[in-house]
Structure formats: structure tokens, C-alpha cells
Structure 1
Amino acid sequence: MSTDKNELAVKEMREGNIEQAAKLLNEAIEENPKDAVAYTNFGNLLTAVGENEKALIFYNKAIELDKDLATAYYGKGNLLYNNEKYVEAIDAYQEALNKGLNEGDVYYMLGMSFYQHGDLGRALPGLQRAAELNPEDTEAKFQYGLTLAQLEQIDEAIRVLNEVIELDENHADSYFNLGVAYTYKQELEEALRMFDKALEIQPDHMLSANGKKQVEQLLEQGE
């Protein structure tokens, strides 16, 4: 019975009916106090409404009841990430992967945790795997391309950022970063074209405006 209530609660959460979801999860836990999935779902609900300390208690309870419940580690990781506890989040996401939750979203969040922690070299594999598993996920692909660029793997970054634009032709930040990459390669006409495209999509894209100005100055100096 509690499984049905878990499924119903998740449905209610997705529809924004938080109070109804909480009621169902309370009932699920009352019916089966060892229902680790219900504790995880309650943790997700509490995270969604900003009750972070309570949410952590529920995730830890879920893990205590079922140390192999990968979704509990993933939920806990998201909570820690949102609270900028990136090292702890990394541990939680790695546990989620170890317990079999081999999904693009987990790899993405693991990669972003390393990225936010400033460890770009270790961010890269997670973001790459996320982009491979969710090839239509523009955000995962963009972050992968951005990390490549910051690691000065410029040609590969250009390839990936172009894939983002194929998925979303109005992705101004990708055009901006392509502009930076082409500037780095001294391909100034192409860089200018990319900055112009970013500004066409988002006229107040200040970074692109600055990039364009710098490239125009370089082109003038080269004449």
C-alpha cells in the first residue's frame, strides 16, 4: 500500500500539491516505518520547500534503513549542492553511482560539484558522461563545452558548443564562448561573427559586447 502512496505522492509533488504529497508520505511512513523510499521522497519534498535541515534528517534516515538506496544519496547530494557543500555533495553523488543510479543527471551534478569546487579536471569526465547519456540536454552539453574551453581544449570545446547551438540556435552563451574560443585561436573574423550572433539573440549580453569591442580593436590594429 505504501508503494502506491509513494507513487501518488510523487505525482502530487510534480503537480505542485505539496500538502497532499506530505499527507500521503506521512501515511506511507505510518503504515511502514521502514519504508526508505517514503523517507527519500519526503526528503525531496522538504528540499523543494527549503526545509533543508529536516530534509537531511529524512535522507539520512532513508540511508540508515536501506544503505543501497541510490535515490536517497542523489537527493542528499542535491541538498548539499544547493547549500554549496560541494565536497560532501561529491561523496553523495559518487555513492548514488556506486549503488547503481547510472543516470545522466547524477553524472551532471557530480561534474558540477567538482566544477564549483574548482576541480575542472575531475569535473570533465562527469560532464562528458552526462552529455553522452542525455545527448539532447543542452545544459549538460554547454557545461561540458565550457569546461573544455577553460581547460584550453579549444578545438574540442568548439565542437561541443556547436552541438549545443544545433540543439538550441538561440543559446547566446554558447555563441559568446565560441567567440572567446575563436579569439583564442586568433580567428578574429569568426570570433566577431559569434559575438554578433550572441548580441542578436540577447542585445544586453554585456560579455559579448565587450568581446566584440576587443576583437574590433584587434582587427583595426591588424589593418
Structure 2
Amino acid sequence: MTEIDQGIQYMKEGKLEEAAQYFTDAIEQDPKNPVHYINFGNLLLHMKDYQRAERFYLKGTELDQEAATAYYGLGNVYFEQDEFEKAKKSFQKAINLGLEEADPYFMLGMTFLYDEQFKLSLPYLQRASELNPDDADVQFQYGLALAQTQQLDRAKEVFNQVLEIQEVHSDAHYNLGVISLFEENIDQAIVHFDKALEIQPDHLLAGNGKKQIEIMLEDNQ
């Protein structure tokens, strides 16, 4: 195991001080290698030390202007601080440099989603869902974007796919309940709200949705 691999292993084990020391030693021994700065940036990002993480990622890009993972790291730094415009540019740069993985597409889509640019989020979340079809969170966020853009039939399909991956997904059931209300299928909506509450008894939205249905049914009697 190389020194840098050992540092990553320490990170996975939660031994952050040991990881920091290994990455520091690696930089001292090979200060021209951008990978060491990127790995230290990843550690600092994990520790929520965003200012220092940004500096290390930027150093990585200075040493290698095509270091896609450095730009991906920068995107995460900016995303965590709600600097969505900077995050978009960084994630897009990582993709343009060939980081053809689900994560940068997913995070770029999430940045648009958090910035309430729902239509712009769709192609990136769709691509992430294609690259990582078995990830419930990726599929769920894609379903949300579809629902936000009123593509309810497709959103319904995706939320059902989420439940195939993760049967106990309260938010997927809640959103299927909301779609059922739009379809005027009250019985199905109640089934989904009940399922969401069974999985997560304190699910406020599902509880409120069920209560509104009960009030509506009482008024119609």
C-alpha cells in the first residue's frame, strides 16, 4: 500500500489526524504532484473546512489544469456553501474534462435543483440515473425534478423504481401519494401516505396529506 493509499484508508476509517499527517508528508516529498493536494482537499472537505479545502483544490488545478477531480472537489466546496453559480461552473468543468461518472452529473443536477432551476437540472439528473441505476438517492432526486416540471407519469415510474431499490423509502411513498391526489385516486394516495408513516412515523408531510384527505372526506359526507 502506497503512502497516499494509506492516507485514504485512514480517511475511510475516520482517522482524520493520521490521514492529514500522511497527506502532509506526501506533499512535502512530492510537492509537484496535484493528486496529493486533491486528496488533502477531500479530507478538508470531509471536515467541513471549506476555505482550506478550496485552497488545496485550487493548488491542484494550478499544477494540472486538466485535473477533473479537483474541479469536482471545488464544486462540492461551493455547493456546501450555497455558492451555486460557482458550483455549476466547477461541476461542468469536471464533466468537460472527462469525469464521466454519476457523481458530477448528480451534483450538477442537484445544484440546479437547489437553485430552483428544475428544468435545467433534468438532463444532468437523468444522466446520473443512467450511470448509477441502482442508487436510490440518485433515482429519487431525478423523480423529484420530473415532478417539479409536471412530468408526473414519468416521475411516478421513477419513484416506483426507487421503491424497487429501497422498499422502505418514506419520501418515495409520500411523493407517489401526492401524484395519486393529482390523479384523483384518493384511495391510492391514502395507501402511500400510510406506508410513508409506517416507515417514518414522524413524516410531517405524509401526516398532513392524510389529515387533509380525511377532512375532505368528512366535508363530502
Give the match for residue 162 of structure 1.
160
State the Cα deviation string for residues 118-175 of structure 1 (Å, max 9, x = none): 1101111111111111111101111111111111101111100011111111101111
Work out which of the residue numbers 89, 92, 98 in structure 2 matches 1:91. 89
Q: In the alignment, residue 93 of structure 1 is paired with which amino acid?
A: F
1:201-220 superposed matches below 5 A: 201-220=199-218
SS of the equivalent of 2:179 reads: helix
Give the match for residue 153 of structure 1.
151
Shift in Å at residue 222 of structure 1? 5.3
Structure 1 residue runs of 5 or longer lacking an equivalent are none
State how far apart, in whole Å, the 2-side matches of 1:15 and 1:158 are.
39
**TM superposition score normalised by structure 1:** 0.94
Contact 1:76 1:92 in 2 (8 A): yes
Whether 1:77 aligns to 2:95 is: no
Give the match for residue 21 of structure 2.
23
State how far apart, in whole Å, the 2-side matches of 1:101 and 1:127 are.
15
Identity within the alignment, %: 46
**TM superposition score normalised by structure 2:** 0.95
SS of the equivalent of 2:134 reads: coil
Give the match for residue 185 of structure 1.
183
Shift in Å at residue 40 of structure 1? 0.5
Q: In the alignment, residue 81 of structure 2 is paired with which amino acid?
A: N
Give the match for residue 173 of structure 1.
171
Q: In the alignment, residue 20 of structure 1 is paired with which amino acid?
A: E
Q: In the alignment, residue 192 of structure 1 is paired with which amino acid?
A: I
Q: CA RMSD in A?
A: 1.5
Give the match for residue 56 of structure 2.
58
- How many residue pairs match? The answer is 221
SS of the equivalent of 2:121 reads: helix
Structure 2 residue runs of 5 or longer lacking an equivalent are none
Contact 1:192 1:216 in 2 (8 A): no
State how far apart, in whole Å, the 1-side matches of 2:83 and 2:155 are.
28
